[in-house]
Amino acid sequence: MFDRMFRNNNPFWQSMGTVYDVFIVNSLWLLCCIPVFTIGPATTAAYYALIQRLLGEGNGVHRDFFASFKRNFRQGTALGLLLTFIGAFLAFDIVLCRRSGTGIFSFFMFFFIVIFIFWAFVTLYAFPLLAKFDRTNREILIWAFTLSVKNLPMTLMMLFVFTAALWMCHIVPGLIFIMFGAAMQFSTTVLTAIFKPWLPKPEPDDFEEAASDETYGGTYDGMNGTDPMPDGLSDDELRMYGISPEEAARLMSAPDSTDSETAAKNTEAPDEH
């Protein structure tokens, strides 16, 4: 019981590992966002670290974070400044129209709110796309808008999660050290499924390549009982399929059990007229 409790694959410790990694990513993101103009590369790096972790391809969230931060610094800074300026401009216009009263200002406030929502849609996808794909900022913005509209229910769900995280940080400021990371972790799960058709396929291992290769196709089938095992296989080829040379020699020297059983039945059974 105690052995199972302290194993690495225990669900509790796996959950604690996820919380720890999210906390590290959240802390690094906050630290790198302090200069403000680095919000873009910091957000890109956070998504890259979380996506790599989810895909099982990471080298540690802190290493992946700084590797992406360095690689996408210039492009991420330009994209971040552009989106930050547009978002700040729209938010300022919404507040200004709200304070100006009713009439035409209500119409413009509604108009700016709609544009702000689409800005939020694009922002949700832009930095994760930059984290995993080599595209220009123009292509990323177009792709982000297209995916956000095409996957509208998932986009609205992610927007709700980020809004809830922002509201909780407003209520309890100390949650800023975990809530944005948790929201990005949730978005990473959704976005990885959306990005799956464009993500590189995992390379097959040696066993899968050998099993699909014509040279070893008959050998593989024979070891499942459909064909006899052919001669001339090397010790390395036998070990690839989990058979020791001694076991192979025994199988090759053993008589065919099917033929032996048939002969025994023919000897014992009386002739039928």
> Is the per-residue pLDDT at 216 higher than 50?
no
Tell me the one-letter amino acid at 208.
Answer: E
> Is the per-residue pLDDT at 116 higher than 90?
yes
Lowest model confidence (mean pLDDT) among 63-72, 143-152, 248-257:
248-257
> Is the per-residue pLDDT at 6 higher than 60?
no
Across the chain, what does the average pLDDT equal? 81
Q: How far apart are CA 101 and CA 42, in angstroms?
A: 38
pLDDT at 14: 82
pLDDT at 169: 93
pLDDT at 58: 80
Q: How confident is the model at residue 217 (pLDDT cuts 50, 70, 90)?
A: very low
The answer to whether residues 128 and 188 touch, using CB atoms and an 8 Å cutoff, is yes
> Is the per-residue pLDDT at 174 higher than 60?
yes
- Is 244 or 194 the better-scoring residue by pLDDT? 194
Lowest model confidence (mean pLDDT) among 30-34, 98-102, 193-197, 216-220:
216-220
- Using alpha carbons, list the distances in angstroms from residue 117 to 83, 93, 155, 182: 13, 14, 11, 22
The mean per-residue pLDDT over the stretch 235-248 comes to 62
> Is the per-residue pLDDT at 272 higher than 80?
no
- Is 234 or 182 the better-scoring residue by pLDDT? 182
The mean per-residue pLDDT over the stretch 223-229 comes to 46
Q: How confident is the model at residue 235 (pLDDT cuts 50, 70, 90)?
A: low
The structure's pTM equals: 0.71
Write the pLDDT tens digit of every residue in 26-51: 999 999 999 999 999 999 999 999 99
What is the enclosing helix (H) or strand (E) of 186?
A: helix 179-195
Q: How confident is the model at residue 98 (pLDDT cuts 50, 70, 90)?
A: confident
Within 10 angstroms of residue 200's Cβ, the number of other Cβ atoms is 8
Chain-centroid distance, C-alpha 78:
25
pLDDT at 241: 56
